[in-house]
A and B are shown apart, each in its own frame.
Chain A
Amino acid sequence: MGSSTEEKVVAVILVGGPTKGTRFRPLSLNIPKPLFPIAGQPMVHHPISACKRIPNLAQVYLVGFYEEREFALYVSAISNELKVPVRYLKEDKPHGSAGGLYHFRNLIMEDNPSHIFLLNCDVCCSFPLPEMLESHRKHGGIGTLLVIKVSPESANQFGELVADPVTNELLHYTEKPETFVSDRINCGVYVFTPEIFTAIRDVSTQRNDTVTLRRVSSYEALQPATRIPADFVRLDQDILSPLAGKKQLYTYETMDFWEQIKSPGMSLRCSELYLSQFRLTSPQVLASGDGTKSAIVIGDVYIHPSAKVHPTAKIGPNVSISANARVGPGVRLISCIILDDVEIMENAVVTNAIVGWKSSIGRWSRVQAEGVYNAKLGVTILGESVAVEDEVVVTSSIVLPNKTLNVSVQDEIIL
C-alpha cells in the first residue's frame, strides 16, 4: 500500500544569506557560500542530490536571503541535471531557522506533502534521508532529528541532546551548553510532518523570555526584549528544547561521517569526505591516470572535464580541480581545492590549500599548510586572482583577492 500520489515529500534546504557565512571569507567574498565547490560540486548540490533518493520527492526549496539572481542560474541548471524541481525562495528578512520554514508554509503545503525534510546546506554528511523517513513513520510524532555521537570535548560546540535508547524519543535538548550534557549532537537534518507549522505558530504567539543560566555578554544584555520579532523562530531554542520529552520528537542516529562547513579549511575536509563517498557511490566521477596519457592520480581526485593537467603532474590524494584550470608539468598537488581558471606552472607544489579563482601559481613555488582543518591558519587560502610569483613559498596564510606575492610569507593574513 502507500499510494504514491498521497505520500508526497518536500525538502527545504536553508542556505542562509550574506550576513551568514562570514566565517567563510575570503572565499565567500566572491560567491555565496552554498555555491562554493566541495568535491567538484557546489556545496548545496550534495544535500540536493541526497534528496533525490527520497521516494516520492515532489519539490526541493532552497530558502535563504541572498538575492534571487545569485541562485537563478544554478537552480535551473540543477533542476535539469538531476531531474528534480528545485526552486529558490528569498526571505524578505531573516526569520530564524524555523521561521523561514513557516514563512513559506503555503508554498510548501501546495503539494500536500505528508512529510517535510529540513536540511542545513552547510552540513556535510551521508544524508540517510530515506532511512530517516522510515524511522520517523514508525515513531509518529511531529519530527525526527538526525543525530551523531561526537567526542565529549567537542560536544558543547553544538546542540547536545539526550535520547531514549529504546524508543529513540528526544528527551532533552540544549544548545551549546556550558557543562557536559551528552555526546550526542544535533546534525541539522530533520524530517517533520505538517504539524510542525502549528508548533511554530504556537511558539511565536506565546514567546517567553526565560532567564538563562548561561552568562550573557553586555551586548546581549542590552538588547531589548522586543528586538526579537514575533516571526523570528529558532528551531533549536524555540521548538526542540520545549518539545523534548513530550513524545513529539524522535532521533535517528547516523554512524557515518558528519561535519559542518563553517570555515574555508573545513571545506577541504568535507571535500575529502565527499570524494571518498564518490569512490563508493559513483566512482566514474573520480579521475584516474598513471602518468602515461594523463597525470598520475593517487587516491580520490576530481578533475573537471575542461581542466588541463599535464601528464607529468602528480595529483592526489584529496584534490579537486575545477573548470578551465591548467596544471603544468611536474606539478604536485596534495589535499587541495583548485578553483576555476587557476594556472599552476611547472614543478609547483600545492598542499593543504585552497587556490582561488583565476589565481596563478608560479614555477617551483609552494602553497602549503599543515592541514589542521579547523585551525585559523591550518589551511592556506588564496582568494580570487592571487598571483604567487616563481619560487615563492606561501605557508599557513590567508591571502585576500588580487594580491601578488613576490616574497615568501608564513603565518600571515595578507590584506
Chain B
Amino acid sequence: MKALILVGGLGTRLRPLTFSMPKPLVDFGNKPMILHQIEALKAAGVTEVVLAINHQQPEVMLNFVKEYEKKLEMKITFSQETEPLGTAGPLALARDKLIDESGKPFFVLNSDVICEYPLLEMIKFHKNHGAEATIMVTKVNDPSKYGVVVMEEEAATEEEEEEARVKSFVEKPKHFVGDKINAGIYLLNPSVLDRIQLRRTSIEKEIFPKIASEKKLYAMVLPGFWMDIGQPKDYLTGQRMYLDYLRKNAPGELLVSGDGIIGNVMADETAVIGDRCLIGPDVVIGAGCVIESGVRLFGCTVMRGARIKEHACVSDSIVGWDSTVGSWARVADITVLGKDVHVADAEVIQMSVKPEIVQKV
C-alpha cells in the first residue's frame, strides 16, 4: 500500500525550534514527529510513502529519509510543488507515485497530527462501507476552532451513528452544528485522484463535499486521543495525551519509578537525573540530557543534549536541543527555547521568562 504525508511548509508556529530543524524532524516523545506516522503506516502494511513538500529539504531531512528507508525497508520519496497547490493539489501532483495496478486505496496524512493511528481498523471500515473515501474524525470540545464534519442524520441506532456517512463540511462554524472535526487522516480510492486537478484545490471545500453529495464519503470516529501539535501549547497538550496513551498501552516506555518521579515521565536511558528533583507529571527528557539536583520539571519537554542546572524550575515549556537553563532559573508559561539557548543563572536576578520565543542570537 502507499501513503502521502502532507508535510507542507516551514513550520513557523513551532519557531524557534524550526529554525534549527525541519518541522517533520522536531522531536515529539523523543522521536522525530514524522517517524510516528511513518511507523504507523508501516504497521498497517504501507510499503511506499510520498512526502509532499513545498520547498527544498535540508540535508538533515534527506539523510533521515535515507536512514529510515533502510531501517524500515520502505520506499520514501519526495513530491515537491513548485506553486501553491492547497490541500488537494499535492495529491494530483503525486498521482503517478500513488497509483499502481493493484487498485488499492492509499492513505493521506497531515503531518502535524498525533493520535493512536488505528489504520488497520480504518482499512476494514473503508472496505465494509464500500466507500470511495474514508476520513477519520475526532470529537472535540471546541469544534469551532476547526472544520466540522456533519454526519448524516438518518443513522438508526447508536452503533450506526458512529459509522455514518458524511453529509457536509462546515469550516469554523459560528453556531453548533456538530462536535466532530476532520482529524486529517484519509483513506482514498485511486478514483479520488480523477477528481483532483493539478491546481490549487482544497480537499475539504471542493473534493470531499462532492464525494459526500454522491454519498460515497464515510467518516470513522477516531478512538483515543488526537492533537494537532503544530504549535507549542498544543504540542504540550499532545505530549500529555501521548504519555497517557503510553501508560495504558506500553508502560515500559515510561519512567515509572524512582525517587522524585511523579505521573507520566519519559526519559531516554542516556539522560541523567540528579537527586532531590521532582519530575513530572507529563515530562519528556531526551537523550544525553542532564538534570541537576533540586530541579522541578512539570508538563515540559527537554530535548536532546539540554542541561537543566540546579534548583531550576521548568513548567509548560519546551527546552530545545543543547540548551541550558541556569541554576535557580525559571522557565514557564509556554516558553520555547530554541537550539543552543542559554538561560542565565538566577544570580543575575532573572525574572520568570515571559511567554516569548527565545532564540539564540
Interface string of A159-179 (1 = CB under 8 A from B): 000000000000000000000
In the bound complex, CA of A371 to CA of B293 (Å): 28
B318-338, CB under 8 A of A: which get 1 and which 0?
000000000010101000000
Contact status A393-B296, CB under 8 Å: no
Residue from B311, B330, B346 with most neighbouring chain A CB atoms (10 Å): B311
Contact partners of A349 in chain B: CB under 8 A: 311, 328, 330, 346
Contact of B296 among A347, A371, A408 (CB under 8 A): A347
Q: Could you say which of B298, B346, B349 contacts A371, with CB atoms under 8 Å apart?
A: B349
**Partner among A329, A334, A351, A370 whose Cβ is within 8 Å of the Cβ of B294:** A329
Residues 359-414 of A contacting B (Cβ, < 8 Å)? 363-364, 366, 368, 370-371, 391, 393, 395, 408
Q: Is the CB of A366 within 8 A of B352?
A: yes
* A26 close to B (CB within 8 Å): no
CA distance A127 to B330 in the complex (A): 42
Contact partners of A408 in chain B: CB under 8 A: 352
A341 near B: Cβ within 8 Å?
no
Contact with A along B280-297 (1 / 0, CB 8 A): 000000000000011110
- List chain A residues, Cβ under 8 A from B328: 332, 347, 349
CB-contact partner of B311 in A332, A351, A371, A395, under 8 A: A332
How far apart sit A393 and B330, CA to CA, in the bound complex (Å)? Answer: 9
Given contacts A330-B310, A391-B313, contact A346 B349 (CB under 8 A): no
Q: Is the CB of A334 within 8 A of B313?
A: no
Q: How large is the interface on A (under 10, 10 to 19, 20 to 34, 35 or more residues)?
A: 20 to 34
The answer to whether the Cβ of B361 comes within 8 Å of any Cβ in the partner chain is no
Within 8 A of B (CB), among A308-359: 312, 329-330, 332, 334, 346-347, 349, 351-352
Contact residues in A for B349 (Cβ distance below 8 Å): 334, 351-352, 368, 371
Separation in Å of the A153 CB from the closest CB of chain B?
26
Bound complex: CA of A363 vs CA of B351, how far in Å? 17
Cβ distance B224 to chain A, nearest Cβ, rounded Å? 30
A351–B329 alpha-carbon span in the complex (Å):
12
In the complex, A203 Cα to B351 Cα: how many Å? 55
Evaluate contact between B294 and A347: CB separation under 8 angstroms: yes
| Contact assessment for A363 and B296 in the assembled complex, using a CB-CB cutoff below 8 Å | yes
Give chain A nearest CB distance to B348 CB in angstroms.
10
B332 and A330 within 8 A (CB): no
Distance between A298 CB and nearest chain B CB, rounded to angstroms: 9
A370 / chain B contacts, CB cutoff of 8 Å = 351
Q: Give the distance in Å from the alpha carbon of A258 to the alpha carbon of B285 in the complex.
A: 52
A364/B296 in contact, CB under 8 A: yes
Task: Decide yes or no: A391 and B294 within 8 Å by CB, A332-B311, A363-B278 being known contacts.
Answer: no
B347 within 8 A of A: yes
Residues of chain B within 8 A (CB-CB) of A368 are 349, 351
Residue ID in chain B nearest A368 by CB atoms: B351
B276 within 8 A of A: yes
Chain B contacts for A329, CB-based, 8 A: 276, 294
Once A330-B294, A332-B328, A347-B294 are accepted as A-B contacts, the answer to whether A393 and B346 lie under 8 Å apart by CB is no
Residues of B within 8 A of A330 (CB): 276, 293-294, 310-311
CA distance A352 to B350 in the complex (A): 12
Q: What residues on B are CB-neighbors of A352 within 8 Å? A: 349
In the complex, which of the residues B293, B295, B330 has the most CB atoms of chain A within 10 Å of its own CB atom? B330
Report B-chain residues with C-beta under 8 Å of the C-beta of A346. 276, 294
B201, CB-defined interface residue at 8 Å: no
Provide the bound-state CA to CA distance between A335 and B107, in Å.
61
CA of A371 to CA of B349 in the docked complex: distance in angstroms?
Answer: 10
- Whether B264 sits at the interface, judged by CB under 8 Å, is no
Complex Cα–Cα for A389 and B169 (A): 47
Cα distance A312–B294 when bound, in Å? 10
Interface-centre pick from B310, B347, B351, B352 (highest chain A CB count, 10 A): B351
The residue from A334, A363, A364, A371 contacting B347, defined by CB atoms under 8 A apart: A334
Are A393 and B332 within 8 A (Cβ)? yes
Q: Give Cα A371 to B294, complex, Å.
A: 26
Chain A residues with CB under 8 Å of B347's CB are 332, 334
Cβ contact within 8 Å between B313 and A395: no
Q: Closest chain B residue to A365 by CB distance?
A: B313
Q: Which residues of A contact B295 (CB under 8 A)?
A: 347
A395 touches B294 (CB 8 A): no
Contact partners of B276 in chain A: CB under 8 A: 329-330, 346-347
> How far apart are A413's CB and chain B's nearest CB, in angstroms?
19
**Taking the complex as formed, is B315 at the interface, i.e. its CB lies under 8 A from any CB of chain A?**
yes
Closest-by-CB residue of A relative to B349 is A351
Within 8 A of A (CB), among B258-276: 276
A347 to B351, CA, bound (A): 15
Contact partner of B352 among A312, A332, A347, A393, CB < 8 A? A393
Chain A neighbourhood of B315, CB < 8 A? 391
Task: Give the residues in chain A near B330, CB-CB below 8 Å.
Answer: 349, 366, 393
Top 7 closest pairs, chain A to chain B, by CB: A330-B294, A364-B296, A364-B313, A347-B311, A330-B311, A332-B328, A347-B294
Other A-B contacts than A330-B293, A349-B311, 20 sampled, CB-CB below 8 A, are A329-B276, A330-B310, A330-B311, A332-B311, A332-B346, A334-B347, A346-B276, A346-B294, A347-B294, A347-B296, A347-B313, A347-B328, A349-B330, A351-B346, A366-B313, A366-B330, A366-B352, A391-B296, A391-B315, A395-B352
Q: Can you show 30 pairs from A to B with CB atoms below 8 A apart?
A: A312-B294, A330-B293, A330-B294, A332-B311, A332-B328, A332-B346, A334-B347, A334-B349, A347-B294, A347-B295, A347-B313, A347-B328, A349-B311, A349-B328, A349-B330, A349-B346, A351-B346, A363-B278, A363-B296, A364-B313, A366-B330, A368-B349, A370-B351, A371-B349, A391-B296, A391-B315, A393-B330, A393-B332, A395-B352, A408-B352
